[in-house]
Amino acid sequence: MILCIDSGNSRIKWDWHDGQSWQGIVAVDHQNRAKMAELLAGAAMPDRVMLANVAGAEAGAAIRAALGPWQARLVEVASTAAAGGVTNGYVQPERLGVDRWCALIGARALQAGPCVVVMAGTATTVDALDAEGHFLGGLILPGYELMRRALARDTAALPLAAGQHTPWPRATDDAIVTGCLEAQAGAIERFARRMGGGAICLLSGGAAVAIAPHLDLPCRAVDNLVLEGLRCLALANGPCGRNG
C-alpha cells in the first residue's frame, strides 16, 4: 500500500493506492492540518509514503509529525532532470515546482502522446509535454478563484462575484465570473495551439470542473495528477501503467 500526499498552496490532499486503485482522496486546509494525524489514525503502516510539498518547511514539519512512525517510509520528492518517463526541460530543473513535476509524470503515465497538463488550483499552471515525454515549458497564472477574489479585494466597487458564465454578460457578477473563466480557458487554448494538432488537455485541480466546459479542445479530467505522479515515482523500479 502506498500513501501519496500532495501539500499544495491551500490544502493537503492524500490518497492510498493498493496496487490496483485509489481508495478516495482526503483533504484538509492548511489551517486545519493538525487533523491529518487524526484522519490517518488506525490505518496500517504503508509500504511507502510519497510527499510533494510546495507549502514550505512549516507544512512539511506538520506532515512529518502527523505521520509519526511512518516517517521511516517517507520519501519527500524533489524535481530532477528526468524521472518517470519525463525529461525536465526547465533551465534549472530543480527549480520547477515539485507539484508541476509530479503532475507531468502522472500525465505521462496516464496519456500517450502529446498533452497540455493543467493544474487549476490556487494558481493555474499550464505545461507542455511532447509525445516523447519532454517537458517543453509552461505558464503560471492566478487561478480562477484568485482572480475573482483579487477583483473584490483590490478594486473599490467590484464585488466577490457569485454570478454565472454567459456569452453576453449584462450584470457585474456575471461579467466577473465570465471574464475570469474565459481568461483561464483562453490561456490554456492559446498555449495548446503552440503545440499543433493532436495534443489532449489533462485537467486537474479544484477549479477544473468550472473551467472544463469552456475549453474548446480535447480534454480529460483527472482527480489529482500530483498523486498519480507520486504513485509512479513510488513504483520507479516497475511500470507505472498507462490507461488511455
* 98 part of a folded domain: no
* 40 part of a folded domain: yes
Q: Mind listing the pLDDT tens digit of every residue in the chain (244 residues)?
A: 999 999 999 899 999 999 999 999 999 999 998 899 999 998 999 999 999 999 999 999 999 999 999 999 999 999 999 999 999 999 999 999 999 999 999 999 999 899 999 999 999 999 999 999 999 999 999 999 999 889 888 887 777 778 899 999 999 899 999 999 999 999 999 999 999 888 999 999 999 999 999 999 999 999 899 999 999 999 975 445 444 3
Q: Show the CA angle centred on residue 151, arms to residues 150 and 155, nearest 5°.
A: 110
* 242 part of a folded domain: no
On whether both 71 and 122 belong to a single domain, the answer is no
* 176 part of a folded domain: yes
On whether both 66 and 151 belong to a single domain, the answer is no
On whether both 208 and 133 belong to a single domain, the answer is yes
* 7 part of a folded domain: yes
Please name the amino acid found at residue 45: M
CATH number reported for the structural domain that contains residue 118 in this entry: 3.30.420.40
Q: Which of 99, 154, 173, 223 is catalytic?
A: 99
Catalytic-residue membership of 154: no
The string of DSSP codes covering 91-147 is SSGGGS-HHHHHHHHHHHHH--S-EEEEEESSEEEEEEE-TTSEEEEEEEEE-HHHH
The residues, ordered by sequence, that sit 6+ positions from 98 with a Cβ below 8 Å of its Cβ are 52, 53, 54, 77, 78, 79
Tally the domains of the chain.
2
Q: Show the CA angle centred on residue 30, arms to residues 21 and 150, nearest 5°.
A: 110
On whether both 55 and 150 belong to a single domain, the answer is no
Pick the last residue of a domain from 31, 61, 76: 76
Range(s) of the domain holding residue 11: 2-76
Query: In Å, how far are 66, 67, 210, 233 from 61, measured between CA atoms?
Result: 9, 10, 33, 22
- Phi and psi of 152, rounded to 5°? -70, -40
Pick the last residue of a domain from 76, 105, 129: 76
Measured from the Cβ of residue 73, the count of other Cβ atoms closer than 10 Å reads 15
Q: For position 71, what pLDDT does the model report?
A: 94
Q: For position 197, what pLDDT does the model report?
A: 80
Q: For position 158, what pLDDT does the model report?
A: 74
Q: For position 243, what pLDDT does the model report?
A: 40
* 218 part of a folded domain: yes
Quote the CA–CA distance of 135 and 122 in Å, as a whole number: 22
On whether both 119 and 210 belong to a single domain, the answer is yes
* 236 part of a folded domain: no
On whether both 139 and 203 belong to a single domain, the answer is yes
* 81 part of a folded domain: no
